[in-house]
Amino acid sequence: MDGTKYQELLAKYLNGECTDEERALLDQWYDSLDSEITLPSTDIEKKQLLAKNWQLLTARTVNTTPVKRIRFRPYWIAAATVVLLSGLSWFFVNQSVLELPAISEQVSKTQLSFTERINTSDVPERVVLSDRSVVTLQPGSKLRYPITFASNQREVTLVGEAFFEVQKNPNKPFLVYSHDLITKVLGTSFRIKACPTDRNVTVAVRTGRVSVYSPKLATQAKSKSDPETIGVVLTPNQQVTYLGQEHRLVKTLVENPIVLIPEVELASFTFQNAPVSKIMAAIEKTYGVDVVYDEEVMANCFITTSLDQENLYDKLTIICKLLGATYKVIDAQIVITGSGC
């Protein structure tokens, strides 16, 4: 199995979700370790060993680019070898991996052990977390996360830019800390950009809903309520930027809104003498956005046009030109202003 499959299988084992067949695969790997090494025999000890190997694997392997096989030196005789079936790739684990983790590193519900991934390459790296959520880490970015998540929530820290695909679990919210901002999700996909040299943080949502807030905003407002209540909720095609110097959130639409409905439900954007209300309704449904305009003023406006190939903003530009109107994006809503027809 490849590196990603191995990480996913190991994560399932640590969470107690392995099937008998999957456990047999891990046992096969476990039993294949060098017979000269004294190995723990109990399930608890084995789980601790796997947890330690999980830490090193996630810290050192993401892509499956083949690497040269390393010749054993004398001090490698007591090393464990984890085979990643991706071409002829090998991942060598030092003998220290086989030692039981210290108390401070043991997997438990009361104390977490964290690892850190820094993408030093020039291409995005894929990181699989213990709950099988996937983080695509951009070059120069850093992610800090626990080897196994706590029982009540999942927390990671990001410096830089990453795209998150979070496994749904309503009982364990997923929180991303980036500078002064907290992004809370239950299961969704979204992008966060929090550069170390820039105090501004941008969160953009592709699917699902996320809550974005900053404890500093609550402090500034002298609010005793939950900081989340003075944050913003984002839906697909929406984004928010936290202005670090001004301590405020600015909500808008993403740079390139995508079509949110299945292709079979996608309505044609070719209109023949169609009322404005029909066109605006099609835009709202297709992109999941709110379009605000004076329906009474534009009640007598009809449009003939074809907009099947244009993106959202090009559609709006053409429509407004035909109406003699203008549009602005305000608080993630499209506001159209015009004098009517």
In the numeric block, the tokens 């099937």 are attached to: 19
**Which CATH number covers residue 179?**
2.60.120.1440
| Strand residues in the chain grouped as ranges (E) | 80-83, 90-93, 114-118, 125-128, 134-137, 142-146, 154-165, 174-178, 181-185, 189-194, 201-207, 210-213, 232-234, 238-243, 248-253, 270-275, 290-292, 302-306, 326-330, 333-337
281 and 200 together in one domain: no
Asked if residue 246 and residue 131 are part of one domain, the reply reads: yes
Residue 46 has pLDDT above 80, yes or no: no
pLDDT higher at 111 or 93: 111
| Domain end point (choices 77, 107, 137) | 107
Co-location of 221 and 308 in the same domain: no
Give CA separation, 34 vs 37, 43, 48, 79, 243, in Å: 6, 19, 18, 7, 54
Instruction: Among 75-89, 229-243, 290-304, 323-337, name the one with the lowest average pLDDT.
Output: 75-89
Q: Are residues 215 and 298 in the same domain?
A: no
pLDDT digits (tens, 9 = 90+) for 131-171: 999 999 999 999 999 999 988 899 999 999 999 999 999 88
pLDDT digit string, tens, across residues 235-255: 999 999 999 888 889 999 999
How far apart CA 275 and CA 59 sit, in angstroms, is 57
Task: State the DSSP code for 72.
Answer: P
- Nearest residue to 228 (alpha-carbon basis) of 187, 185, 188: 185
pTM across the whole model: 0.63
- Domain assignment of residue 179, given as a range: 112-255
Q: For residue 337, what pLDDT is reported?
A: 95
Across 317-321, average pLDDT = 96
Q: Are 87 and 99 in contact (CB under 8 A)?
A: no
- Of 90, 89, 87, 68, which Cα lies nearest the Cα of 79? 90
Last residue of a domain, one of 255, 281, 316: 255
Q: Which of 107, 140, 169 is the endpoint of a domain?
A: 107
Alpha carbon separation from 277 to 136, 189, 287 (Å, rounded): 40, 31, 16
| pLDDT for position 20 | 76
Residues 247 and 293 in one domain: no
Give the total number of structural domains in the chain: 3
> What is the structure's pLDDT at 13?
67
Using alpha carbons only, give the angle 171, 172, 173 rounded to the nearest 5 degrees: 115
